[in-house]
Amino acid sequence: TRKLTVITGASSGLGLNCAVALSKTGRHFVVMACRDVDKAKRVAKEMGMPDNSYVVMKLELGSLRSVRDFVFNLKAFKSARPVNNLICNAAVYRPTDPEPAWTDDGFEASMGINHFGHFLLANLLVDDMAKAKDARMCIVGSITGNTNTVGGGLVYPQADLGNLQGFQMGAKKPISMADGKPFFGAKAYKDSKVCNMMTVSELHRRYHASTGISFSSMYPGCIAETALFREKRQWFRKAFPWFMKYVTGGYVGQEEAGERLAQVVDDPQCAKSDVYWSWNGGAQQVGRWSSDGKPRGAGGSGGEIFENQQSDAVRDRSTAMKMWELSVKACEMT
């Protein structure tokens, strides 16, 4: 039987390409958890996903109600069968917004969607996934939340949760930033990614031994052509892929990035918990899977998977524990 694999934000970019890669292996039945159901159905068809390999279900991460409804609908759909894999991939990036946008619950949009929505979703699925063998949960991270790399450390602004004063004050309108300071869109995204990576480590510490679930994060490489950069100006969207490809060497195409994310839940060598997966070297020229669903194996000029180091900020246990407790409150989980 195929594994039941849930992917959030599977209607675009990394999530869509991951859904395509997994559906074509024949080893996964993919639940595409998307805010725009019609769009997801259309792009799944356009990308040639086999008809009986997926279903699209509504999930608006900017609404805690919607997250709970999604879990309810998912359980009804799958009946007793446990979820094998959860991939928290959806995100928004709003670097040019002068004012914060707010989610239904009153969270600043990037923190609300990228972190709080996924935080609740992950917690609501732990018990169910504990029933599956070799269950894996992956929350997509980023070097932008990683202060010890070029992309994360040198490029202004840096992620910084401070003492989580903003979370402590309730994390809701008019409070827009985790540290309680004035709104700064590019930083809000980076802060949310730090929370994503801290959530993975905390999930591991709290639940790995008792449930057997593997919790991981990953950095897919810079996928400079996705809609994530939709708010950037046209010249930037042309120059950025070129810059990443020829200057920093961190560029990765959407298809290969999707295969990398798929590898984290599909490859037996990625069963380990509490890992931040990354890929070294240049992008591979060929897909990781051939059309019959068999892995092609390592080859090409780079793209070898390895266990990366989290930054000190992400590994700071006392902030992570505080972040966890305040997120439980903000998501009204108690």
E strand segments, 124-232: 136-140, 214-218
Nearer to ligand NDP, 113 or 264 (CB): 113
Q: Does 36 bind ligand NDP (CB under 6 A)?
A: yes
| Alpha carbon distances (Å) from 78 to 11, 30, 128 | 21, 12, 11
Selected binder of ligand NDP within 227, 239, 298, 333 (CB under 6 A): 227
Q: Which stretch binds ligand NDP (CB under 6 A): 54-62, 169-177, 278-286, 293-301?
A: 54-62
- Cα separation, 50 vs 27, whole angstroms: 12
String of contacts with ligand NDP for each residue 104-123, x by CB under 6 A? ---------x----------
**Residue in the shown chain whose Cβ atom is closest to ligand NDP:** 13
Whether the CB-CB separation of 302 and 282 falls below 8 Å is answered with yes
Q: State the binding string over 173-212 for ligand NDP (x if CB under 6 A, else -).
A: ----------------------------------------
Q: Cβ neighbours of residue 181 under 8 Å, at least 6 residues apart? A: 162, 166
**Quick check: 142 binds ligand NDP (CB under 6 A)?**
yes
Residue 188: how many CA atoms within 13 Å on its side-chain side?
33
DSSP code, position 270: G
In the complex with ligand NDP, the residue whose CB is nearer, 105 or 211, is 105
Tell which one of 4, 9, 84, 105 touches ligand NDP (CB under 6 A): 9
For ligand NDP, the closer CB: 175 or 224: 224
**Residue 31: C-alpha distances to residues 11, 97, 148, 254 (Å):** 11, 32, 35, 20
Nearer to ligand NDP by Cβ, of 57 and 228: the residue is 228
Residue number, 146 or 201, with CB nearest to ligand NDP = 146
Q: What does residue 332 show for φ and ψ, rounded to 5 degrees?
A: 50, 50
Binding segment toward ligand NDP, per CB under 6 A, in 32-40, 164-172, 231-239, 282-290 = 32-40
Interaction of residue 140 with ligand NDP, rule CB under 6 A: yes
Q: Specify the residue, 36 or 316, whose C-beta has the smaller distance to ligand NDP.
A: 36
According to DSSP, residue 12 is labeled S
Task: Tell me which residues in 66-105 interact with ligand NDP (CB under 6 A).
Answer: 89-92
The per-residue DSSP string of 105-154 comes to: TS-BHHIIIIIIIHHHHHHHHHHHHTTSTT-EEEEE--GGG-TTSIIIII
Interface residue with ligand NDP, options 3, 18, 62, 265 (CB under 6 A): 62
In the complex with ligand NDP, the residue whose CB is nearer, 92 or 177, is 92
Q: What share of the chain is helix, strand, coil (3-state, %, to 5)?
A: 45, 15, 40
- Interface residues with ligand NDP (CB under 6 A) are 8-9, 11-15, 35-36, 39, 59-62, 89-92, 113, 140, 142, 219-220, 222-224, 226-228
